[in-house]
Structure 1
Amino acid sequence: MVTLIDTLTRSPAELRHPEKQNRPETAVLRKPDWLRVKAPGSGQYNATKEIVRSKGLVTVCEEAACPNIGECWSQKHATLMIMGDTCTRACAFCNVKTGLPQALDPEEPAKVGLAVAQLGLNHVVITSVDRDDVADGGAAHFAEVVRQIRLQAPLTTIEILTPDFLRKDGAAEVMIDARPDVFNHNLETVPRLYLKIRPGARYFHSLRLLQQVKERDPNQFTKSGIMVGLGETKEEVMQVMDDMRSAGVDFITIGQYLQPTRKHAAIDRFVTPEEFKAYEAIARAKGFLMVSASPLTRSSHHAGDDFARLKAARLAQTGR
């Protein structure tokens, strides 16, 4: 009974992020006009929400408090998050719940495949929490989700946004051999800020994961993204671009970090739309096939349209 009362009196932030409760609160800065979006609530948004609820799906749109949820759900686009809603990492920027997850659901891959088929999606993005508690980091489970989508929705193109599978030997190969159309893994920030922003990860391991994809299957598109506004310098962002290109990354996304709660990492500043345009020009000059750089850019935003443009850009460059 004592535990129940304690749970009921705790705030939602405490329930989602117990590891952050001893951190000092930081001020949440007022958003500039270019970051304001309409509150969700259209008829199609509500219809998508009902589909998500009725099928018991978890979406990163909700779990990560994405600012684009109104736009995407109104267009019947949703990024599915597998392997539960609880992450074993405690990144300072992320709004996904942290803690000890439940066991993997062996029926989940078939359920996701069926849901994608019933939704009639042309392109689907599948992401997941980190599962450091599982021997292979959940790679085999993730790969089975891809296989089930191929089986039940063969015309749907698949983009995966994976964990880093740190210290999980052989996991990367399992994911690459699942042969998604786009293999996405986000570097998130510049190397100098990893200990503060992404303490459970290692920058060069994440970079190496992206490089492995191209080495094992050169035809797979690779994609990675970072957030800005965390205290990085322009020169550091440009160095990350060079690192990505050295690893063969095709598509870079750059978006503004938005602070989920006062307990999360503080925003250093709001990067202006003009600065994002400059980043886009620099990235294109460095040879990326695709660049998405804007305050509201997120990894999965407009993913289907971007995939079509990505294929067209490769065709124009290589003829295949």
Structure 2
Amino acid sequence: MRTAAIDLGTNTFHLIIAEKENDEVKIIYKTNAPVRLGEGRLNDNLIIDAAFKRGVDQLKAYSETLKEYGVTKFKTTGTSAIRSASNGKDFVDAVKSETGIDIEIISGDEEAGLIYQGVKLSGAIEDLSLIMDIGGGSVEFILCDSNTLIWKKSYDIGAARLMQQFFKSDPISDEDRNSILVHIQNQLEDLFEVCEKYQPKFLIGSAGAFETFAELIIKKNNQHTDIKAAKTYKFDFDEYIAIAIKLINATHAERAIMPGMIPLRVDMIVVSALITNYVLGRLKINNLTLSTYDLKMGVLASLMN
């Protein structure tokens, strides 16, 4: 039986199709599209007309792909951009009317739980760890080990949300940078309290921006690792810090031509690097791993079980 997960992120819509083979999840097909549902007025809690249309059109295409691959069971999850938008229900209704796809709008808490399940499948969790998933609208943190989810929370500090609110300069100015960091600090007080108690020594970055960090390092070092085929990637910490600082200090044009950069993340990667660096520094963590498995793999696992 073929099963699929459709993840409607604030920036990117993902489709992944899989089947179970000897208790292993075998991926048959996966794709994504930079729909940018949160374009323009994310902080006004509104999906603008152009983004609304792009979203519906993309789901029409995904609907055809599901038929083509003979998918019998699937789940479509809507996250930060849809759950916070005043016209989010209108989007859900339009998608149902035009494609037949039912969107389940999940809470930030549910999103964090599914991210944990996806990351767990990758094998990235080896010890007490903090998982971090940087989306466009929200960022999820999960404190866990390979057996237990200890604590989780979703925060409305996603890369697109902070970029629209604070990132007004090129390259980013000290003023804009400090505004972002003060905002992060104020939002994440309870995260730092729980981490002070448990002292995680590993940060696991869930897909998204962390895949771009990895691609930039791989291309820079002329390595042959295929991130698209890998479940995990262990960063050399010094190499990560070097690339993060380079991204933060670069102009838009300089970032755009970096080998391994994708157009969608040229600007948002700066915000992602600032958030990641702040969390690493505040928690004194110097072990960083990428899990390419994230929410959509968690959704697949829940469907298959």
Same topology, TM > 0.5: no
Q: Which has the higher strand share?
A: 2
The structure with the largest helix share of the pair is: 2
Bigger relative contact order, structure 1 or 2 (CA pairs below 8 A, ≥6 apart): 2
| TM-score normalised per structure 1 | 0.30
